[in-house]
Amino acid sequence: MSQNSFLFDKKNYLLFAIGLAFIVLGFILMSGGGSEDPNVYNEELFSARRITWAPLLIVIGFVVEVFAILRRPKS
């Protein structure tokens, strides 16, 4: 049995990058929507993009990250 010098292979690192991209995109989509004046209500704060899609992308990103960590490289 040969010993690899690296714990992860190229595909693991690619999955890490994809998961990180999903997480960053989710946080970017979640940002904004506030109002300059605290007495003014801005309905954009509760848009489907911020309430549904952004958290879903973040969760998908974390699932991809866990999969990238647990995936075994082929020997």
pLDDT tens-digit series, residues 51-60: 999 999 999 9
Q: Considering the entire predicted model, what is its pTM?
A: 0.83
The arithmetic mean of pLDDT across residues 12-21, rounded, is: 97
DSSP string covering the chain: -PPPS-SS-HHHHHHHHHHHHHHHHHHHHHS----SSTTS--GGGG-HIIIIIHHHHHHHHHHHHHHHHHPPPP-
pLDDT tens, position by position, 23-74? 999 999 999 877 788 888 888 888 889 999 999 999 999 999 999 999 988 7
The pLDDT of residue 4 is above 80:
no
